[in-house]
Structure 1
Amino acid sequence: MQKTFVLDTSVLLHDPRSLYAFGDNLIIIPAVVIEEIDTKKNLLDIIGRNAREVARELDHLREQNSLSKGVRLENGGTLKVELNHKSFSHVAEWFNEVNNDNRILAVTLNLQLENENKGIQNMVVLVSKDAIMRIKADSLGIESQDYLHDKIEYTYETYVGYKEYRVSSTLIDQFYEKGYLDYHYFDDIGLLSNQFLILKGEDSPNKSAVGRFDKLTGKIKALVFGENSYWGIKGRNAEQRMALEVLLNDDIKLVTLTGKAGTGKTLLSLAAGLYKTNDERIYKKLLITKPVIPVGRDIGYLPGDKNEKLRPWVQPIYDNLELLLGTKSFTKLEDTLVGMNRIEIEALTYIRGRSVPNQFIIIDEAQNLTRHEVKTIITRVGEGSKIVLMGDTEQIDHPYLDSECNGLTYIINKFKEENLSAHVTFRKVERSSLAQLAADIL
C-alpha cells in the first residue's frame, strides 16, 4: 500500500537527498516548508548549504512538471509541493498559535482526514527531526517518525574498539614472553583490524594483558607505545594505553576516540601530537581545530582578530596545552607556542579548500559534525598526515544531529574494518572522582 510522507523542514535541512529516500511513495512538501528553507539559504554554515542544495534539487525537478501538480522521481515515487489543505480549523482547538510548525501539522492532518472521508487506504506519515513536532503529531492522531535513512546502527555494545576474552594464565605468560600471539587462538571472536583484545586469566583473575590485532600479520601484538610516558602523560587505564598505542602508531592514519568528558581524549591526543611533531619530527605541524557550535544561547560576535575570536571556543585545548607545556599563564603559553612554531590552532571554518600534508591533525568535538562536514575534513588530509577525531556522542549541540546520525559515529562505522584506522571508546573518567560520579549519575 502506498504511503504519503509529509516532510518537515528539519528533514530537508538535515539531508537534502531525503527527497529520494522514501521509495515509490508520495512525498509531500508543505508550502510553508519552502518558505522556511528560503529563510535559511543565506546562512554560511551547513544549514545554509543544505538549504541551497534543496533549492537546486527542487528547481531541477520542476523542469519536468509543476511541483504543485506532482513530479515523478527516478525511484518511482512522486513529489508534490502542497499549496492546499492549509485550513487551521482542525488544529486550532489544541494548538492555536499560528506558527510554521502548526501549519505543517495542519496540512498533514487535513490530508489524513481527506483520505479517511474518501475511504482511501493511504497512511499519511509526518517525518520530522524535531521531537516536539512528533509529539504534537501523535497527540493529534497523526502517524509520525524520525528520519531514519542515514542513521547508523551504533551502540557502545556493537563496536568500542576492543573486546575482553578469558584465557588460561599460561597463554598470557606466553604472550608476555613472545610479545604476540597467533590469531588462530581467537579466530572465533571475529576481531577487526587494529581492534584491541583484553586478555583475562581464567584461573587467575588478577592476571591480564592487552594486545592489538594486526590484520596484515595475523597476530595479536603487545603494546609498543601504550606503556610509556609522553610529555609527562601516561595511560592510567587500559583504554588510555590503547589510545596511546594507536595515536603513536604511524601506520594508522585515522584514529577515532569517544568517551565522556574527563576521560582523557584531548590530553592524550595532544601529548601524542606534541611527541610526534616536536620530539620525533615525524610531522611538520600539529593542527588543532573544532567545530564552532555553541552550548545553549549563542554569545554573538566576539571582538578582536581571528585568534582572539577563536580563543573562547578552543579554551579547553589551551587548558590542556598549559598542563603539557608547564606554563602558568596564557601569555607564557602564547610565547611558548610561538617559540615552538609547530602548533597551529585553527577554526574548522577555514579548513575547506585546504590540503593538509605532513601534519598531525586533531579534530575535537567531532560529534557536532555532519556526515558531509566530516567527509570534507578527511578529504583535506594530505600525504603523510594523520588525523584524530574525538568527541562524546552523548553531548551533541547541533540541532539536527543525534548519537546515531553524526559525523563521528558515521566515520567510526565506515572505517572500522580498514587497516589504516583504529577506534577506542573510553569508559572510565580520570579527571576526578567527582567528574566520574557526575558522568555516571547525571
Structure 2
Amino acid sequence: MSDVAIASPARVRATMPWPGLLALFSAAFAAVMTELLPAGLLPQIAGALGVSEGRAGFLVTAYAVASFLAAIPVTAVLRGLDRRPVLVGVLAGFAVLNAVTAVSSSYAVTFGARVLAGVMGGVLWAMLVGYAARMVPAERRGRAIAIVSAGITVALCAGIPAGAALASVSGWRWAFCGLAGAALVLIGWVWWQVPNFPGEKAAARVPLRRVVVMPGVRTSLGVTSLVLVGHQAVYTYLAPLARERTSVVLLVFGVGTVAGIWVVGAVIDRFPRGALVVVLGVVAGAMAVLGAFGGAGGVVVGAAALWGMAFGGVPTLLQTALVNVAGAGNADVATSLQTTVYNAGIAAGSLAGGVVLEGAGAGALPWTAFPLVAAALVIVVGARRHAFPVRGRAWPGARPARAPRTTGGTAGCR
C-alpha cells in the first residue's frame, strides 16, 4: 500500500502535529510505567499478595514475555483495522488491567492481568513508530519518531522514580490507580488529537514474509540485534563494573540518554546515516575505554556519559531506518519484528553478560560488547544502498509513491 493511499494530504500535515505526537509520547510513557513500575515496588506487592519477592518479580517477567510473544502475531491480525480504534482499545486495556492490578488481592489474578497487559504492550510498541511516521511528511519522520520515543526515556529517568516515590507515600495500589486514570485521559486525548488512518485492505496487504525480505529490512534488524546484545551485556551488570560508583554512573548514563535523544531528534531527518555511524562509533569507543580503564572511577563515569549520550539516540535512528526501508504502510509489521528482535536482544545480552561475569569477571564485559557494536558499525557503513543509504540517495520510504500493484500479492513493495 502506498503512503499516498494511507494518509491523504489533509491528514499528513506539513508542520509538526505536536498535540498528536505528544499524545503518542504519553502513550509510550504510560506503557513503560505499566511494564516496569512493579520492579521498584516488589516488597510492597509481595507482602500484599502473600508471595515471595521472587514470585512478585515474575509479574515483570510475565509482562515482558507476553509482549515479546504477542508483538508479531497480534499485530498481523489487527493490520486490517483502522488505526485509531486499535490504539484506543490498547489504552482501554491498560486502564482496565492496571485497575485490576490495583484492587486484586490474588496473585493469580494479578499475574493474569499482567500477561494481558503485556499483550497490549506488544501491540502498542508495534504501532507507535508507524503511527508517528504516518502523521508527518517523509522528510519529518525521524523527528516525529524521536518525539514519541522520548516517552520511553522520560519514563525511565523520571517516571519510574516518581512512581516509586508516590507508592512509598500513598501505597503501591494508588500508583496503579494513577496509571489506570492516566490511560483513560489518554483515550480522550488520542481520540481528539490523533488522526485516524485506515487499516490495510486484504488485497493490498503485504504479507509478513514479504516485509521481512524487503531490501534492507533484515540488515536493519540484524544491526538492532547486535547493538542490543552488546549494550545489555554491559548495562545489566553495570553495578559490579562500576562498584561503589554505581548510583552516579546510572544517573550520568540516564542524563546522557536524554541529551542524546534530543540531539538526534534535531539532526535525524538531515543526517540519518551519519548520525547512526557517529553514535555507534561513540558506543564502541566507550566500550573500549571501559575495557581498558574500567578500574578508574573517573573513567567509568566519563565513559558512561558518552555511552548514554550515544545510545540515547540509537533506538530512534534504527526505528527510523526500518520505517524508511519498509515504507510507512508496512511500519506496524516492520516495527513488530523490531520489537521482537529488541526484546530478544535484551534477553540474550543479559544472559551472555551473566555468563561472562561468572567466567571472566566484570572487566571482560566491555570487551564482550565491543566486537558486537563494532560489527554493527561496519554493517551500517557497508549498507550504503538499502538499509542505511548515503546522503543524496532517497530513503525507500521517501520515494514518490507508486500506484499499488494488482497482481502477485506484492502491492506496496518498493
Structure 1 and Structure 2 fold alike (TM over 0.5): no
Q: Higher relative CO (CA 8 A, sep ≥ 6), structure 1 or 2? A: 2
Of structures 1 and 2, the larger Rg is shown by: 1
Q: TM-score, normalised by structure 1?
A: 0.20
Q: TM-score, normalised by structure 2?
A: 0.21
The structure where helix makes up a greater share of residues is 2
The structure where strand makes up a greater share of residues is 1
